[in-house]
């Protein structure tokens, strides 16, 4: 059976046309799927019984796929595991925080980018998620209706699965879909220049860039993508856009003890980002197996933050969530679920 969850309005219209049904049926279906959260075609009661049966007989279902497993952190964070093709799995993370409820969404099974500090990269790349698999993470969790924000910061590089991610963003923000403001959604990228210009033209959702060092040689050791897409080229592109309203630009900076957490790096980062309307998120490194990097202490992170703020560059320290269930930044991996030794 082919899932309807994850179809855009245009795709639903094509299905309806192929089945010879009235054009307005597509909008009815979209309303049932995305607004009313119907789990069965037979729940779509303003579509005739005959037409509902034709949809089912044509091989379509709504297509919810519930999580295969869940782990709950002592801080309330929940890590969900979803099964995908070829007995592979992905993870997404629900993060409650007072009046906010954020879901960290995955876009790929594993990741090609192989950043040195990231457990997902150690897993390798095992396939692209379909639009259905991306949207299903949002709809299938018990907390779905309470979500206030989405961040594409889970497993994978979102812009390396651009078409499916863009369709997912359309469903999330379109009036016929979830009808969310783009301000509630952030897409995080290592600076994948092949699709970054398209994203900036085709979406109004917020953008986060992983930077982690202001020095090209150091960044290359942490992030092989620096070779193909130098951060200087990424910044040249970003400077062509107006960041003074609507969409936010954030730089994510994982802080490592003795590597990138000193005043020299802080001042170099200020110089590198000069002229951009942006903010910097400092992120504590979460240790993973076989990686010889250490977590910076809070005093160093606060000193780094204060230097940036004193020079007019807005900087915050992101609270670490879900580390005890391996759900914190850089820790997502389904290798243990699939019997792969991660020690």
Show which residues are catalytic.
Answer: 91, 329
For 78, phi then psi, to 5°, come to: -125, 125
Work out whether strand 249-255 and strand 206-210 pair parallel, antiparallel, or are unpaired.
Answer: parallel
CA dihedral 286→291→297→302, nearest 10 degrees, is -70
278 token code pair: 């942006």
CA–chain centroid gap for 328, Å, is 13
Taking the C-alpha atoms of residue 143 and residue 51, their distance in angstroms, rounded to an integer, is 32
Taking the C-alpha atoms of residue 303 and residue 222, their distance in angstroms, rounded to an integer, is 23
Beta strands in 190-312 (DSSP E): 206-210, 249-255, 279-284
124 token code pair: 């390798």
Beta strands in the chain (DSSP E): 2-3, 60-61, 69-72, 78-83, 89-97, 100-104, 108-110, 125-128, 149-152, 185-189, 206-210, 249-255, 279-284, 314-317
From the list 86, 91, 65, the residue with the least C-alpha distance to 1 is 65
Taking the C-alpha atoms of residue 312 and residue 157, their distance in angstroms, rounded to an integer, is 30
265 token code pair: 């790096």
């Amino acid at each position: 059976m082919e899932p309807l969850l994850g179809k855009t309005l245009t795709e639903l219209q094509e299905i309806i046309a192929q089945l010879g049904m009235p054009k307005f049926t597509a909008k009815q279906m979209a309303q049932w799927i995305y607004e009313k959260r119907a789990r069965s075609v037979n729940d779509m009661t303003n579509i005739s019984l005959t037409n509902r049966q034709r949809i089912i007989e044509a091989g379509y279902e709504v297509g919810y796929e519930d999580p295969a497993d869940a782990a709950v952190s002592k801080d309330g964070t929940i890590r969900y595991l979803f099964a995908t093709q070829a007995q592979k799995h992905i993870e997404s993370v629900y993060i409650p925080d007072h009046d906010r409820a954020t879901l960290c969404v995955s876009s790929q099974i594993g990741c090609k980018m192989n950043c040195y500090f990231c457990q997902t990269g150690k897993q390798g790349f095992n396939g692209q998620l379909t639009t259905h698999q991306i949207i299903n993470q949002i709809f299938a969790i018990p907390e779905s209706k309470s979500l206030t924000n989405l961040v594409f910061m889970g497993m994978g590089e979102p812009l390396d699965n651009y078409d499916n991610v863009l369709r997912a963003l359309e469903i999330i923000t379109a009036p016929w879909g979830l009808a969310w403001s783009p301000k509630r959604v952030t897409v995080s990228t290592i600076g994948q220049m092949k699709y970054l210009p398209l994203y900036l033209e085709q979406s109004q959702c917020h953008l986060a860039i992983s930077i982690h060092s202001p020095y090209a040689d150091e960044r290359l050791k942490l992030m092989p993508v620096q070779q193909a897409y130098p951060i200087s080229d990424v910044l040249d592109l970003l400077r062509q856009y107006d960041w003074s309203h609507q969409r936010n630009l954030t730089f994510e900076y994982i802080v490592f003890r003795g590597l990138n957490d000193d005043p020299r790096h802080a001042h170099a980062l200020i110089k590198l980002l000069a002229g951009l309307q942006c903010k910097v998120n400092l992120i504590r490194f979460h240790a993973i197996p076989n990686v010889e990097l250490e977590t910076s202490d809070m005093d160093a992170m606060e000193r780094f933050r204060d230097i940036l703020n004193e020079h007019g560059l807005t900087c915050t320290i992101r609270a670490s969530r879900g580390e005890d269930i391996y759900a914190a930044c850089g820790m997502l991996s389904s290798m243990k679920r699939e019997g792969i030794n991660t020690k």
